[in-house]
Each structure stands twice: as structure tokens, then as C-alpha cells.
């Protein structure tokens, strides 16, 4: 989906940052940020950071914030800036009030919040911004 409809959105990113710098074998932190702006004015701000614990388990923090033309929240999947094991569910904020929904909320019964990633957030944003699709939690 990212490789199609390139005339309908733009992507701005500073690329991937790895620390220690350039050490892909011995990395301790990998992060990337991007802003995707749709031709409708909607915007998806993306932030992912991966780290390693002392026993080399991979942890992550994420934020996929989808906003309307006025910059108001439509949805945001996030971990509140905290790093958690990969399979730990994130949570979802919806609407301008940013109501928080956790994994056990019945409105999220069709979403595995432990497997939410950039591509799923992009798919939801793309569907709403360009195809006016409803969200699974609506």
C-alpha cells in the first residue's frame, strides 16, 4: 500500500537512527520518525524506538498519531513513551477527547493490540483519509 497512490500523500522522515552510531550488529537503540501528510490534509505522525534490556530482550515504544486537517486527534496508538516487550499491547486514544481504550475494551475485539505496528496504523489512516472507511472500533 505504501508503494501505491504516491500522488495522494507525502512522507517526511529523517531516516533511521541507530546507536551506537552505524553499529547494526551491536545496536542498543534504533529509532525512526516520520510524518505522512495525505492530500486531504490529514496527517499521521509516526515514532518508533526499539531498545535492548541488559539481558538482550528487545523492547519498544511507539506512537502512531492520526490527525485531521486541523491537527485534532482522530486516533493514536501509543505506549505513552514507555518501552515494553514487543508483544505487550499498546492502547488506543480516539477522538478529540483522546478517550483511552485498552486491550480488554469490547470495541477493540477485532484488533490484537499486541501486534499493532506502523503498517496497521497506516492502513487505518489511509482508509479514513482517502476512502472514508470506518474504523474497527467505531
Q: pLDDT per residue over 91-116, tens digit each? A: 999 999 999 999 999 999 989 999 99
Q: What is the mean pLDDT of the chain?
A: 92
SS (H, E, C) 75-130: EEEECCCCCEECCCCCEEEECCCCEEECCCCHHHCCCCCCCCCHHHHHHHHHHHHH
Residue 3: pLDDT above 70? no
Quote the longest CA-to-CA distance of the chain.
Answer: 45
Give pTM, 2 decimals: 0.91
Least confident of 12-16, 22-26, 94-98, 99-103: 22-26
Residue 50 has pLDDT above 90, yes or no: yes
Residue 26, pLDDT score: 87
Answer whether residue 2 shows pLDDT above 60.
no
- Cell representation of residue 75: 486516533
Amino acid at each position: 500500500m505504501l508503494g501505491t497512490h504516491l500522488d495522494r500523500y507525502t512522507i517526511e522522515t529523517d531516516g533511521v537512527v541507530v546507536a551506537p552510531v552505524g553499529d547494526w550488529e551491536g545496536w542498543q537503540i534504533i529509532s525512526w520518525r516520520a510524518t505522512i501528510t495525505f492530500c486531504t490534509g490529514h496527517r499521521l505522525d509516526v515514532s518508533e524506538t526499539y531498545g535492548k534490556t541488559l539481558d538482550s530482550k528487545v523492547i519498544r515504544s511507539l506512537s502512531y498519531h492520526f490527525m485531521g486537517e486541523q491537527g485534532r486527534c482522530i486516533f493514536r496508538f501509543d505506549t505513552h513513551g514507555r518501552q515494553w516487550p514487543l508483544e505487550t499491547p499498546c492502547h488506543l486514544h480516539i477522538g478529540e477527547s483522546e478517550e483511552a481504550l485498552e486491550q480488554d475494551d469490547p470495541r477493540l475485539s477485532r484488533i490484537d493490540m499486541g501486534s499493532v505496528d506502523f503498517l496497521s496504523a497506516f492502513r487505518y489512516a489511509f482508509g479514513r483519509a482517502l476512502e472514508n472507511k470506518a474504523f474497527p472500533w467505531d
